[in-house]
């Protein structure tokens, strides 16, 4: 691999691939029903898994699992009846992050994950302060000309097999992590991506908690 993975700031960063499955009640923001996270670190060009976490989440009463949600994810209301609450699940995930290490979250269409995290920020204040990398602008830069940049399209382009439980958070995290590593490998041929700062400039998304206060006036 090229200069990007040998950049000291890149090597110091833990990249946490994250995915939520949600239900979206009318008049409310999306409510999480499952979360998965996979932490990766790169040392001397070699990737290692630094930890993973997954949890079902019981949605609030105003956001029941619908038949459409079940068709998409396979999750049913019965499965989630005894799941941890959002406060329990997300505070447990939040405790996995330590103050002495730099992190970046990685997600496909990271705005979706950023919004879920922001609306749950009372339960995960550390997580809510972590900025994100979005695989979509990174893929557009490195693999121009695709018909679209949906996850399934990118998986097919890179020959990453579709998991049988696609649209469950753990499976989607695994394939998004594979995609991210393929994109970072491809970045060795991009002179514009020589270090972490360049990567963040291209594909970074500022956590909503880190944005200027006036942007909070329209907390949709």
The runs of H, that is alpha helices, within the chain are 3-6, 8-12, 67-73, 77-80, 86-94, 110-119, 135-142, 151-158, 169-186, 196-203
Summary mean pLDDT of the chain: 94
Given a cut of 50, whether residue 1 has pLDDT beyond it is no
Q: How far apart are CA 128 and CA 209, in angstroms?
A: 6
- Token couple for 185: 């490998």
What proportion of the chain, given as a percentage, has pLDDT over 90?
A: 89
In this predicted structure, what is the pLDDT of residue 203? 98
| pLDDT, tens digit (0-9, with 9 covering 90-100), for 49-97 | 999 999 999 999 999 999 999 999 999 999 999 999 999 999 999 999 9
Between strands 31-43 and 46-56, the pairing is antiparallel
What is the structure's pLDDT at 212? 86
For the chain, the structural domain boundaries read: 3-218
**CATH (residue range 3-218):** 3.30.420.10
Give percent of the chain above pLDDT 70.
96
For the entire predicted model, the pTM comes to: 0.94
pLDDT band at 214 (very low <50, low <70, confident <90, very high): low
For the purposes of burial, counting CB atoms within 10 Å of the CB of 29, is it exposed (0-12), middle (13-18) or buried (19 or more)? middle
Question: What is the number of other CB atoms lying within 10 angstroms of the CB of residue 92?
Answer: 15
pLDDT tens-digit series, residues 161-208: 999 999 999 999 999 999 999 999 999 888 899 999 999 999 999 999
pLDDT surpassing 70 at residue 12:
yes
pLDDT digits (tens, 9 = 90+) for 94-137: 999 998 899 999 999 999 999 999 999 999 999 999 999 999 99
């Amino acid at each position: 691999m090229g200069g990007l993975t040998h950049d000291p700031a890149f090597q110091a960063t833990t990249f946490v691939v994250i995915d939520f499955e949600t239900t979206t009640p009318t008049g409310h923001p999306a409510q999480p029903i499952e979360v998965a996270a996979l932490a990766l670190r790169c040392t001397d060009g070699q990737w290692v898994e630094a930890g993973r976490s997954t949890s079902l989440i019981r949605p609030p009463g105003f956001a029941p699992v619908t038949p459409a949600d079940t068709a998409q994810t396979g999750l049913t209301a019965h499965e989630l009846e005894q799941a941890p609450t959002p406060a329990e699940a997300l505070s447990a995930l939040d405790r996995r992050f330590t103050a002495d290490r730099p992190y970046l979250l990685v997600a496909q269409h990271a705005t979706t994950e950023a919004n879920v995290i922001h609306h749950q920020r009372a339960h995960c204040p550390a997580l809510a302060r972590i900025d994100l990398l979005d695989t979509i602008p990174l893929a557009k830069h490195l693999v121009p000309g695709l018909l679209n940049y949906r996850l399934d399209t990118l998986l097919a382009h890179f020959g990453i097999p579709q998991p049988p439980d696609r649209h469950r958070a753990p499976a989607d995290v695994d394939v998004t992590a594979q995609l991210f590593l393929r994109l970072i490998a491809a970045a060795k041929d991009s002179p514009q991506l020589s270090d972490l700062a360049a990567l963040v400039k291209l594909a970074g998304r500022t956590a909503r908690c880190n944005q200027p206060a006036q942007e909070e006036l329209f907390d949709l």
